[in-house]
Amino acid sequence: SGGRAEERRRREDEMRRQQDAARRVEDEARRQAQEAEQRSAQQKVQLRAALSIRRVIQKVRTAALETFEAAKAELEEIVKQELDNTGPQRQRISQECTDGLEQGRKRVEVALAQKQAKEEQQRKIEEAKKRQQEEIERKRKELQEKKEEEERQRKEVQERRMAENRAALEVRRHIQKLRMAVAKEEDVSKTADELKAALQKALDEELEKSGAMKEALQAESTKVLEALEKKLEAIEKDRELLEQAKDQVKELEGLIEVSEASLKRLLDAEKPLNEKKDTTVKKVNKLYEVVQSAGEEAKEACAASAEFIKTGTPQVKDMEIKKSVMLLKQRSAQVLSSVEAALKRAETAKEAATRCAEAWEKTHEIERLFAKYSSKDVLSKKEIAAYAKKEFKYTVREETLANICRDVIPEGERGVKLERFHLLKAAIGVARELDRDAKRKAEREEREAALAKIKAELLQKAKAASGPVEEANQKIEAVEKQVNPLAGKAKTMASAKMVELADECDRMVQEAKDSVERAQSNIEHLGDEFGDKYQAEISVIVKAETKQLELKLGRFKLRLVRAENLSAQFRGRVEQRRTAELTRLKKVVRSLIRYSRELKDVSMDDLFASIDKNGDGEIDEQEFLAFFETVNKDVDLRDFDDEADPAVGADGEGTAAAKAASDGGEAKEGNEDAEKAEKAE
């Protein structure tokens, strides 16, 4: 028990020591926190004091001339209040204050110098403006005096020009009277002397007063007087032309009267053509010839008046003459249009009269034909039969003749009269057409029976024709089975075997082509044995029954084209394969030569001498082959397969695995092509 008590006391002492240590740590932490808080508060006071002083320092640095003293006083005040609170920054802030005051002072000095320079510049500008204003005033006075002098001179010139203008205006007034008289269409010969005298008087009185316009007025007056003289000459010439124009108008009127008379004769000649009377075509033609002759005469008269209008119409300004000429032109145009209209009517009337004459001639012909077979102004039953046989080569059966007579001859009449003769002709035509219909029906029934028999035989032949088509299909399938794997074989097969296989494929393709051609020829000649009588109908039947076979043959040709292309591509790769083999062989030969030289441990010259048995300095074919008969061939040729062609083995074939893979791929490709062909069919 004493030991346990000792242990307990020891533990209690340990716990007290730990508690004392914890209290000491806590007191130390509290003390450090208080010190940190005091330092933080002190730092804030120092920072705030430093910021206040530096803000005023910045004002001093940037102060203008007017605000510098106030900023300086403010800085001194804030330094007194806050400098002691800046702590360790006191010395640096004091230096900043000194620097700030110095910078502000320099700034103020610079501003003061700039202000003085600006005031000096402003003073100079004001002096320059004053001198400029005085110069402007002086020039203005000089300009005013100059303008007054110019105005006085201008008034003098203006008064002189006004006097000249009045004189020129008076002269031009008389010139204008003459000019207007010349411009008018009236006869001025009566007033010409008076106008010229007035102009001459104005020239004598006012021309010398016109100054610089004297020459121009003189030229204008001369020009207008010349124009007046020309006007007087033109008036005299117009008088002569007017008399000449009156004579031409009378001549034109005479020509038009002649054309109007010829028009009247044309209209008189046209009238007989419009009469619907019994006549002949010959008489109508004679009447039309008379009309044409009168028309030609009228056209010539109209052409004469038109030519006179074109070349001889008077060109005068007299309104009466112009009006007369215009009326005469209208009369001439009206006569010409009447002539043309009459000729067109005559042509139409001639055609109508010709038809009428032909109708009369036809009527007389029918009357003569009726009179030829009738005995008493009617056609009896017997005479009708004779008429049909002789005129239409048609023998009328008794029953048909009775029906015709019943339809054409009215009850109580003895026979067919002339006015019903056309009905008889139509009835005979109907009877003939009915007989032809019966004959055509018999021929059609005969043709249908023959075609039905031919069609049955053609159906059998068409079924038999599917045999050669199926045979051709089998050959094509064999060809496709042969050519589908060619692309894969071209990668592994030796060139010699490729040539043999390509020849075999071409042979099979040609056999398949021949088979297709035989099947095609068999179909094309299915209907040859039935002759040419029903060739068109037979062709339609054959085409319908062999349509599916023709479609198959068309697809066969496409499949053969594909097989030919595959075979040609395979043959085209023979040369590529041969080149690869020769390349590999060259490498093998070089390696064997090097290997033989290394085994014998001889130089290349010694090796060459050992191959050149006859010592002529050249190796011929026999020596070359003899060397390779005896050379050591203990070389792994597979090393050369990788260089020449990875798919080629030592014997010219690829490895078994590569070949199997290639054959499998080609077989798959062939199957896919076959499936596509089946879908297309």
Q: What gap in Å lies between CA 347 and CA 410, rounded to an integer?
A: 43
* Residue 663 reports pLDDT greater than 50: no
Asked if 181 contacts 195 with a C-beta cutoff of 8 angstroms, the reply is yes
Q: What gap in Å lies between CA 461 and CA 545, rounded to an integer?
A: 10
Q: What is the mean pLDDT of residues 644-659?
A: 38
Long-range CB pairs of 112-116 (<8 Å, 24+ gap) are 112/65, 115/65
Closest CA to 483 of 457, 506, 510: 506
> Three-state DSSP class for 525?
coil
- Give the lowest-confidence range in 177-191, 304-318, 389-403, 563-577: 304-318
* pTM, to two decimals: 0.33
* Measured CA distances, 410 to 251, 373, 429, 431 (Å): 74, 19, 19, 19
Plot region of 601 (φ>0 → left; ψ -120 to 50 → alpha; else → beta)? left
DSSP per-residue codes, 176-214: HHHHHHHHSSS--TTTHHHHHHHHHHHHHHHGGGGGGGH
At residue 563, the pLDDT reads 85
305 pLDDT tier (thresholds 50, 70, 90): confident
* Residue 392 reports pLDDT greater than 50: yes
At residue 655, the pLDDT reads 36
What is the chain's mean pLDDT, rounded?
Answer: 76
Residues 6+ apart with CB under 8 A from 161: 211
535 pLDDT tier (thresholds 50, 70, 90): low
Closest CA to 340 of 281, 308, 374, 296: 296
pLDDT in tens, 110-136: 888 888 888 889 989 988 898 899 889
Q: How many CB atoms lie within 10 A of CB 258?
A: 18
At residue 534, the pLDDT reads 63
- Greater confidence (172 vs 357) lies with 172
* Residue 216 reports pLDDT greater than 50: yes
Asked if 212 contacts 164 with a C-beta cutoff of 8 angstroms, the reply is yes
pLDDT in tens, 189-211: 677 777 777 777 777 777 776 77
The one-letter amino acid code at 153 reads Q
Plot region of 275 (φ>0 → left; ψ -120 to 50 → alpha; else → beta)? beta
At residue 678, the pLDDT reads 42
Closest CA to 550 of 582, 526, 584, 532: 526
Of the ranges 20-34, 72-86, 303-317, the best mean pLDDT one? 20-34
Asked if 441 contacts 521 with a C-beta cutoff of 8 angstroms, the reply is no
The one-letter amino acid code at 623 reads E
* Measured CA distances, 49 to 43, 57, 102 (Å): 10, 12, 21
At residue 588, the pLDDT reads 84
Q: By percentage, how much of the chain surpasses pLDDT 70?
A: 80
pLDDT in tens, 574-622: 788 788 878 888 888 888 888 888 888 888 888 888 888 888 888 888 8
At residue 436, the pLDDT reads 82
* Residue 637 reports pLDDT greater than 60: no
How far the first Cα of the chain sits from its last, in Å, is 117
Phi and psi torsions of 534, nearest 5°: -115, 40
Phi and psi torsions of 650, nearest 5°: -65, -25
* Residue 35 reports pLDDT greater than 50: yes
The one-letter amino acid code at 363 reads T
At residue 643, the pLDDT reads 44
Asked if 217 contacts 210 with a C-beta cutoff of 8 angstroms, the reply is yes
At residue 315, the pLDDT reads 60
Per domain, the residue ranges of the chain are 2-128, 446-586, 602-637
At residue 569, the pLDDT reads 85
- Greater confidence (611 vs 238) lies with 611
DSSP per-residue codes, 645-679: -TT--TTSS--HHHHHHHHHHHHHHHHHHHHHHHH
Q: In the 8-state DSSP scheme, what is residue 491?
A: T
DSSP per-residue codes, 615-636: -SS---HHHHHHHHHHS-----
636 pLDDT tier (thresholds 50, 70, 90): low
Which residue shows structure tokens 């009466």? 320
At residue 384, the pLDDT reads 74
pLDDT in tens, 247-284: 667 767 777 777 778 777 777 777 777 666 666 667 76
